[in-house]
Structure 1
Amino acid sequence: MSVPTRSMTIYRISDAMTDVDACLETVQGTYLDDAASTSMDLPEYPDADAVAFHWRHSPVPAPWVDAASHLIGPLPDDYQSIDCGALLLLGVDGERYAIGFGGGWRAIPEQFKDHGFGLRFTIRAVDADQVRSVVRRSMTGLGRQDATHVSSGIPIGHIGLSEYAEIVGRLAGMVDPGDLGLESTRPVRVEGSAGLRLRVPVSRERLVALLRRISEICARTVPDDFAFVEAVTPVRDEWRLADLDRRLDERLRAEPGDDAPVRLAAAIPLDLADRAGDAHSHVIKIGSVEVLRRGDLDLDAILSRSRLQCRTPAVRALRRGEVRMCEDDHGQRVIAKASADKWLAAAVRVNERDYFLVEGAWYEGGAEYFASVQRRIGGLFKPVPSLGLPAWPDRPEPPGSDKRGERAYNEWVQDSLGLDQYLNLDRTGARTEFHGSHGFEPCDLLGPGNELVHVKGGSRTQPFSHMFSQALVSAESLCLREDARASFRELVRKTSCGRRELPDGWRPAKVVLAMKVDRLTPLTPATLFPNAQIALAHLAQTLGRYGIQVEVVPISRGDAPSAAA
């Protein structure tokens, strides 16, 4: 006789719960305070420890009664419901699980849940060709969440997930019942996020056997098809978030030169990256004081304000603070702003696990994920660069010129090597209906083979968010829009006074990211900050779908070569 089953959600209890008493104390002090009655049982399970408790709240009117009374008229007094529930805690072979009945799921303290459990199981058990639904969130800082549902099932590779820019939060698919030790002859649907939802046998012996199989599957190596899902996950455990914030707070308050375990870098909020080229100053407000910084925002500007916070934790002051991007030198004409924590990137290793801060949120990255990222971007650094960009002189601008930074370097490269080799298109715009009156900046230099060369200078290997954003917008626009290509062809012809022409049918074939770094710290995949590694890998992956090659060319610092060079 087959054992009946019922759809239930199973949670795994994390190491934050030291014992059952810690869970019961937390539950009793919160959700169950208003219970009309509460009972506890110790049910006997084969080879498992079990604790269960159940409760009943006083009857309350159904939530729709008040509105219905106004729209229909008085309703009978017995239109009530009973709010009740139960929670079963099971310890099986050292792993602890929880199953809620009715409102029981509300009694599991969030800080004691293993928030990665359900997803960890599904990506190891689900047939990669029979994925039924995926919910994922973008890491671009825009808060976008997308869901794909296919009732008949679809291969995971056909969903179009971005390995380096999206986080999978929920996944559902079909599992072989034999893998779960179940009697069913048909595939079993499972859905995993923090919890794991599936049909569970209503038998104590069979339930323990199922939990054992679940533990065994969770311990497997993740299949290649799903490896990217586990690569980057948001940190949700409150105790872990508190520990990471504590470490960040210590780093923010550390004096210059302290050998702190948390690596920091200045960043540009991803949704503001396309405005960075127009910024001439930044106003920093962390605490009660506003500070003006001309030029690019650097890490020292953020740290100097964070160290002065005495009454408030530095991390809290950072999240309450604000940085305004301004198009003038005096911080008066604001073009964009974001909370101060979004202008900071951080990375730290704790107990052999890597965590990094992106857009104010903490994420955990698996070791294999970072190895994958570095493998992908490693191929973008050629032993011998395809373009011979000259060293960045200490003073590329001509005497008396008000041009600085990349603007001066780009003009100097064209003047030194000739526009037949490098056409300076810095601060020019190709126009389309989509991009508005200002258009988009296609590149800083047009290379000798019509490569789109983007130039960025900086004293540190911090995330080059503006460069990556500009390169992506430009290349995609020139690939997908004929009006963008027509405008760019005219821009090249006009800027070069007819000496450069793009061939008929031209589309971008190569994007070059030219970066200036300190000569004592060579630019390599390893020396790029983790956030910049991820952004670069995403850029290369996206442009690769259009058949566009990406190359990174480091620019050294040094004396200006002669024009003949």
Structure 2
Amino acid sequence: MPDPTHELTIYRLSDAVTDVDAFLETSQGTYLDEAASSDMVFPEYPDVGAVAFHWQRGHVPVPWLKPATHLIGELPQYETADCGALLLLDVNGERYAIGFGGGWRSIPEQFKDHRFGLSFAIRAVDAEQVRTVVRRSMSGLGRQDATHVPSGIPIGHIGLSEYTEIVGRLAGMVEPGDLGLDRTRALRVEGSAGLRLRIPLDRDRLVVLLRRISEICARTVPDDFAFVEAVAPVRDEWRLDDLDKRLEVRLRAATDDDEDVRLATAVPLDLADLAHEAQSHVIKIGAAESQCRGELDLDAVLRRCRLQCRCTAVRALRRGEVRMCEDERGQRVLGRAAADKWLAASVRVGESEYFLVEGAWYEGGAEFFASVRRRIAGLFRPVPSLVLPPWRDGLKPLPGSKKRGEAVYNEWVQDSLGADRFLNLDRTNARTEFHGAQGFEPCDLLGPHDELVHVKGGKGTEPFSHMFSQALVSAEALYLRAEARASFADLVRKTSLGTRNLPDGWRPTKVVLAMKLNRQTPLTPTTLFPNAQIALAHLTRTLARYGIEVEVIAISRGNAPAGAA
């Protein structure tokens, strides 16, 4: 007969808890301190430090009494006793907390290891038998989606976006032997901040279970779940305050000498599709406004932050606004968002790395980013298969042309090298019923072997994230949809005036990402911002399923003619 069990939630305490005294001091004035009667006991566990609290508060109204009174009328003052218990166990240096009844309420949020339950689940759950996934969008729209499959489903079939979604909860099946449990059937576990599962009601076996949990949490994350630890929201108030203080120092600094804090401009995800139409940006941080032509300039944002004297630069940034405009004077607004959503930050604290994305702080998994860099390293070839001419900063359009930036460069490449080698398709769209009236932009240049070449320039590497997303949409549409290929073939024929035609049965086989950095830093996998690295890795892995090759090439800033030919 198997040992009796009970389903409970286990929490792991963070390093903020130094000892039991610190725990008790923090609980003053909170749920535990309000108990009408309470007691502390020291249960005996094998080779484990244990302390427990149990309490009872005075009778309180049942929670449904007030709304019922509104809908029914006066009712007797029904009451119930509010009680609970909390067991703290120190197992080989890892401290766990198990609540009974209302006991979980007495654990201060700042003392919880908020990554514990999810961290365990992705290391223990069978990737083919995932039952529940709850994720939140990083777009800043507050959207949260949940997938529940009682019979289980492979994690790869859920359709998670590694770049724009953060997994907050995951449930699935674990073999009981892996947990040291005397059961024959697989055990369901659910991990978020805490870990919910059936625990044995035997002290010796509970200690064995907790030791197995610690061992599993120390394992390397399986590849199927590695993306889950790419980014996780920072919830600890003390850590959020620390990150804001580090960002404050960097925003106020006159130089960018701090290697532990990197900054770049970003485009808010809900405005990314409009970025190619922007001709200027208006920055309002504090009482005054400033304007910059072209792409949003990081130095312009920092200048406004340094001028703030009535509040911190971080607070001014979060209260501020940036407007994206389709004219150079900043009059015709395409879209607007809070100023902190236009800034990406990467902060290294010890061995951990934290990121500011869409105005919120996230913690990155070091091993995940190492695997991402390994995955994309091969895309940066020592000798590229294609070479594009230098893109000089002062490149100007033909007289009378209103083209700017990439549009001028793409036109100049075609005029210089010939449409037979690089056909300029910038600002042209292929159309399908699926993609709506506007269609999608297939590429900027069509290469000599019908490669889809996407071109992007920028001071920071953050704008390239949108480039990768655009390349993914294009390649998938052209590979999967016959009407997209037909529209693209017609576009190529008409744009080239009949000098180029796609072969019968053509499908994309290669995507080339051509980038120019408007700074001295060379283009390498490590110089890309972390979320751009994730987007590139996701693009590469997705297109590999269709047999589509991806290559990254750098466009130099060397001498080039001042005007288009």
C-alpha contact 1:284 1:291 (8 A) present in aligned 2: yes
1:415 corresponds in structure 2 to 415
After TM superposition, the structure 1 stretch with the greater mean CA deviation from structure 2, 433-442 or 368-377, is 433-442
User: Given that residues 519 and 556 in structure 1 are in contact (C-alpha distance below 8 angstroms), is that contact kept between their aligned partners in structure 2?
Assistant: no
Name 2:169's counterpart in structure 1. Answer: 170
Give the residue type in structure 1 aligned to 2:540: A
| Corresponding residue number in structure 1 for 2:431 | 431
Matched, 1:51 2:55: no
Q: Paired residue for 1:551? A: 551
**Matched ranges for 1:205-354 at <5 A:** 205-354=204-353
Q: CA deviation at 1:375?
A: 1.8
The 1-side partners of 2:201 and 2:397 are apart by 82
1:194–1:440 Cα change, 3 Å: same
Give, as a single letter, the amino acid of the residue that structure 2 aligns with 1:252: L
Q: How far apart, CA to CA, are the structure 2 residues paired with 1:99 and 1:69? A: 35
Q: Which amino acid aligns with 1:25?
A: E
Per the TM alignment, residue 144 of structure 1 is displaced from its structure 2 partner at its CA by 4.2
Residues 377 and 107 of structure 1: CA distance in aligned 2, closer, same or farther (over 3 Å): same
Question: Which sits farther off after the overlay, 203-212 or 15-24?
Answer: 203-212
SS of 1:535's partner is helix
> Closer, same or farther in 2 for the Cα pair 1:465/1:449, shift >3 Å?
same
Structure 2 residue aligned with 1:495? 495
Query: CA–CA distance in 1 between the matches of 2:358 and 2:71?
Result: 47
Q: Is 1:102–2:101 an aligned residue pair?
A: yes
Query: Cα offset for 1:561?
Result: 7.5
SS in 2 for 1:268: coil
Measure how far apart 1:275 and its partner are: 0.4
Cα distance in 2 for residues equivalent to 1:252 and 1:561: 37
What are the residue-to-residue correspondences of 1:385-396 with 2, within 5 Å?
A: 385-396=384-395
1:504 aligns with 2:507: no
Report the residue type matching 1:237 in the other structure: D
Residue correspondence of structure 1 range 180-199 to structure 2 within 5 A = 180-199=179-198
Change in 2 beyond 3 A, CA 1:87/1:519: closer
Instruction: Give the Cα–Cα distance (whole angstroms) in 1 for the partners of residues 70 and 461 of structure 2.
Output: 64
Q: In structure 2, what is the Cα distance between the partners aligned to 1:224 and 1:72? A: 56
The answer for the alignment partner of 1:397 in structure 2 is 396
CA contact (8 A) 1:431 1:487 kept: yes
Question: Deviation of residue 74 (structure 1)?
Answer: 4.1
Following superposition, the deviation at residue 520 of structure 1 comes to 4.0
Distance 1:424 1:167, change over 3 A: same
Matches of residues 354-365 of structure 1 in structure 2 within 5 Å? 354-365=353-364
Q: Is the 8 A contact 1:265 1:463 kept in 2?
A: no
The superposition leaves residues 392-423 of structure 1 with CA deviations (integer Å, 9 ceiling, x where unpaired) of: 24544356455432121111111112212222
Contact kept? 2:14, 2:111, Cα under 8 Å: yes
Task: Indicate yes or no: 2:41 matched with 1:41.
Answer: yes
**Worse-superposed segment, 336-345 or 509-518:** 509-518
Deviation at 1:257, TM superposition (A): 4.7
Q: Helix, strand or coil: the match of 2:515?
A: strand
Paired amino acid for 1:5 = T
Q: Is the 8 A contact 1:294 1:329 kept in 2?
A: yes
- Report the residue type matching 2:497 in the other structure: C
- Contact preservation (8 Å) 2:12, 2:96: yes
**How many angstroms apart in 2 are the aligned matches of 1:238 and 1:562?**
53
Q: Say whether the 8 Å CA contact 2:114–2:235 is kept in structure 1.
A: yes
**Number of aligned residue pairs:** 563
Q: Distance in 1 between matches of 2:85 and 2:149?
A: 33
The code of the aligned residue for 2:406 comes to E
| Other-structure match for 1:527 | 527
Q: CA RMSD in A?
A: 2.7
Q: Deviations over 1:244-285 (max 9, x none)?
A: 221111111111254452011111112211100111111111
Once the two structures are TM-superposed, the CA of residue 2 in structure 1 deviates from its matched residue by 5.2
Provide the C-alpha distance between the structure 2 equivalents of 1:393 and 1:293, rounded to a whole number of angstroms: 20
Q: Give the aligned residue type for 1:196.
A: L
Q: Provide the C-alpha distance between the structure 1 equivalents of 2:253 and 2:22, rounded to a whole number of angstroms.
A: 35
Task: Return the offset for 1:319.
Answer: 1.7
Name the counterpart of 1:200: 199
Seen in structure 2, the aligned counterparts of structure 1 residues 278 and 50 have a Cα distance that, compared at 3 Å, is same
Q: CA deviation at 1:194?
A: 1.0
Q: Name the structure 2 match of 1:22.
A: 22
Letter in 1 for 2:45: Y
Could you tell me how far apart the structure 1 residues matched to 2:521 and 2:506 are?
A: 37
Change (3 A) 1:2 1:501: closer
Provide closer, same or farther for how the CA distance between residues 453 and 19 of structure 1 changes in structure 2, counting only shifts above 3 A.
same
TM-score (norm 1): 0.91
* Distance across 1 between alignment mates of 2:66 and 2:137: 40
8 Å Cα contact 1:267-1:465 kept in structure 2 = no
The aligned counterpart of 1:476 is 476
The aligned amino acid for 2:203 is R
Tell me if structure 2 keeps the 8 A contact 1:134–1:171: yes
- Alpha-carbon distance, 1:320 to partner: 1.8
Task: Please give the secondary structure, in 2, of the residue aligned with 1:229.
Answer: helix
8 Å Cα contact 1:31/1:106 also seen in 2: yes
**Residue range with higher mean Cα deviation, 461-470 or 329-338:** 461-470
Residue in 2 aligned with 1:115? Answer: 114
Per the TM alignment, residue 6 of structure 1 is displaced from its structure 2 partner at its CA by 1.0
Deviation at 1:434, TM superposition (A): 4.3
Corresponding residue SS for 1:58: strand
- Structure 1: how far apart are the matches of 2:430 and 2:156? 35
Seq. identity, %? 75
Aligned position for 1:68: 68
CA contact (8 A) 2:260 2:349 kept: no
SS in structure 2 at match of 1:324: strand
> 1:190/1:282 Cα in 2 relative to 1: closer, same or farther (>3 Å)?
same
The answer to whether the 8 Å contact 1:251/1:260 transfers is: no
In structure 2, do the counterparts of structure 1 residues 46 and 526 end up closer, same or farther at CA, with 3 Å as the change threshold?
closer
Cα offset for 1:164? 5.1
Offset of 1:358 from its aligned partner? 1.9
Alignment of 1:126-145 (within 5 A): 126-139=125-138, 141=140, 143-145=142-144
Question: What residue number does 1:467 align with?
Answer: 467
CA drift of 1:9 comes to 0.5
Unaligned runs of 5+ in 1: none
1:12, CA displacement in angstroms? 0.7
Q: 2: distance between equivalents of 1:274 and 1:289?
A: 28
| 1:385 counterpart SS class | coil
Q: Deviations over 1:38-82 (max 9, x none)?
A: 33333343433333223333333333333434544543x253332
The secondary structure found in structure 1 opposite 2:438 is coil
Deviation track 1:209-230 (CA, whole Å, cap 9, x = no partner) reads 3323322332333344433333
Give the Cα–Cα distance (whole angstroms) in 2 for the partners of residues 154 and 436 of structure 1: 32
Aligned mates of 1:228, 1:463 — CA distance in 2: 22
User: 1:558: how far off?
Assistant: 2.2
Question: Which letter maps to 2:146?
Answer: A
Per-residue CA distance 1:175-221 (angstroms, 9 max, x = gap): 23233232223322222111111112223333333323322332333
Alpha carbons of structure 1 residues 332 and 152: separation in structure 2 relative to 1, 3 Å: same
* Cα pair distance change 1:248/1:435, threshold 3 Å: same
For 2:325, the aligned partner's letter is C
Secondary structure in 2 matching 1:66:
helix
